[in-house]
Amino acid sequence: MSTWTACVNRELHRTPPRHLSYGDPRGLRELREAVSSYLRSARGVNCTPDQVLIVAGSQHALSLCLEVLVDPGGEVWVEDPGYFGTQGAVRASGAQLVPVPVTTEGIDVEYARSRAPNARVAFVTPARQLPLGMTMSLNRRLALLSWAADAESWIVEDDYDSEFRYTSRPLGALQGLDREQCVLFTGTFSKVLFPAIRLGYLVVPESVADAFIAARHFNGFSCPYLEQAALARFMNEGHFERHVRRMRSLYGARRDMLLTSVGRYLRGRAQPGVADGGLGVVLWLQHGDSEDAIAATSHRFGVELLPLGRMTVAHATAPGFFLGFGGLPETEIARGVRVLAKALEEYDRKRRAAV
């Protein structure tokens, strides 16, 4: 925060008068350059600064994509289970939600093609499926690209937290495999920095860049100058890269604590899902367990749980919870898992009594 504050302070005292005006609807040039060079090297994204739009976070990017790419009533593939922010944005836009199940390789493209071959957009999380955590396989990526090319449709790659990978180098972006210019790529600074900065990015194919600029002009969303200038400086001076490295090690330790605690207190009762990256992991329960009853018990004990059912539209998974560990110190994580173990004991006791 002190480095960030210093960057803001520097820009605050040297704002050129021309930057007090409306500015480029795509966002500040310096920041678009910094983002495009970061995405090229860190994520293998193919883009120039002119394809980068600075947005107010990834939810804003998803909503812009819907506005520009989908007419009312148009079909949109979403992962099921998936992020409720995506599902909600699709519904709010007047488009038609097509929930698509997820296999160990990622979104089930074959299912989706049989169900809604002419969908206009597919929203996907290839780096780490939200919430299940698996990486989309290469075969699945190629199948998805091939569908988009055939249907002349779009893929929106939501790269929401790929900065944090603990056990292996992250797979490059799906966008980097795109030969047909049909992939849009979005990410946010909300998680890697902090949400109140309200900054993220959307990389669009050249063919639709003008349509996005026009949409932003008329919907009036652009980001203030100061945070953009400060972030460009923060990135250009190398602070961003150092921050990501430091946070990766901090979050990695939290993830390890979560896995260790689950192994210690929940062994045989619940087990973690894929946990090689990100800021949250699924905890799988046993067949027949009631997510809601366990969450209610745990809530009484002071621990809030997010049932997978809340992230599901039509394709129920086995019962489980999505556990976020990014915002909790290690001692709190261990305590939370112990509380959850007690809640599960109470739940099991009551269920035995009822039988």
In the complex, which residues of this chain contact a second copy (CB under 8 A)?
5, 8-9, 12-13, 15, 19-23, 55-63, 71-72, 85, 88-89, 91-92, 94, 190, 194-199, 214-215, 217-227
Query: Which of 121, 141, 124, 129 shows the shortest CA–CA distance to 182?
Result: 121
The backbone region for 301, taken as left when phi is positive above 0, alpha when psi lies in -120 to 50, beta otherwise, is alpha
Cis? peptide before 131, omega within 30° of 0: yes
- Per the DSSP assignment, residues forming a β-bridge with 340 are none
Our separate counts of H helices and E strands in the chain read 11, 12
Question: Residue 69 or 109: which CB sits closer to a second copy?
Answer: 69
Question: Residue 112 or 215: which CB sits closer to a second copy?
Answer: 215
Type of residue at 351: R
Compute the least distance from the CB of residue 210 to a second copy, in Å. Answer: 13
φ/ψ of 116, rounded to 5, equals -150, 70
Q: What is the 3-state secondary structure (H, E, C) of 264-319?
A: HHHCCCCEECCCCECCEEEEECCCCCCHHHHHHHHHHCCCCCEEHHHHCCCCCCCC
Compute the least distance from the CB of residue 35 to a second copy, in Å. Answer: 17
Question: Residue 8 or 334: which CB sits closer to a second copy?
Answer: 8
Residue with tokens 């490059």: 172
Distance of CA 45 to the CA centre of its chain: 16
Question: Residue 179 or 218: which CB sits closer to a second copy?
Answer: 218
Compute the least distance from the CB of residue 102 to a second copy, in Å. Answer: 22
As a whole number of Å, the CA-based R_g of the chain is: 21
Question: Residue 85 or 252: which CB sits closer to a second copy?
Answer: 85
Compute the least distance from the CB of residue 78 to a second copy, in Å. Answer: 13
Compute the least distance from the CB of residue 252 to a second copy, in Å. Answer: 22
Compute the least distance from the CB of residue 16 to a second copy, in Å. Answer: 10
CB atoms within 10 A of CB 105: 17
Compute the least distance from the CB of residue 64 to a second copy, in Å. Answer: 8
Query: Which of 60, 230, 254 shows the shortest CA–CA distance to 160?
Result: 60
Compute the least distance from the CB of residue 333 to a second copy, in Å. Answer: 19
β pairing state of 280-284 and 271-272: antiparallel
Compute the least distance from the CB of residue 74 to a second copy, in Å. Answer: 12
Distance CA 47, CA 40 (A): 7
Question: Residue 38 or 84: which CB sits closer to a second copy?
Answer: 84
Distance CA 237, CA 250 (A): 22
Q: Are 77 and 123 in contact (CB under 8 A)?
A: yes
Question: Residue 188 or 261: which CB sits closer to a second copy?
Answer: 188
Query: Which of 64, 57, 103, 109 shows the shortest CA–CA distance to 81?
Result: 103
Question: Residue 13 or 352: which CB sits closer to a second copy?
Answer: 13
Question: Residue 89 or 262: which CB sits closer to a second copy?
Answer: 89
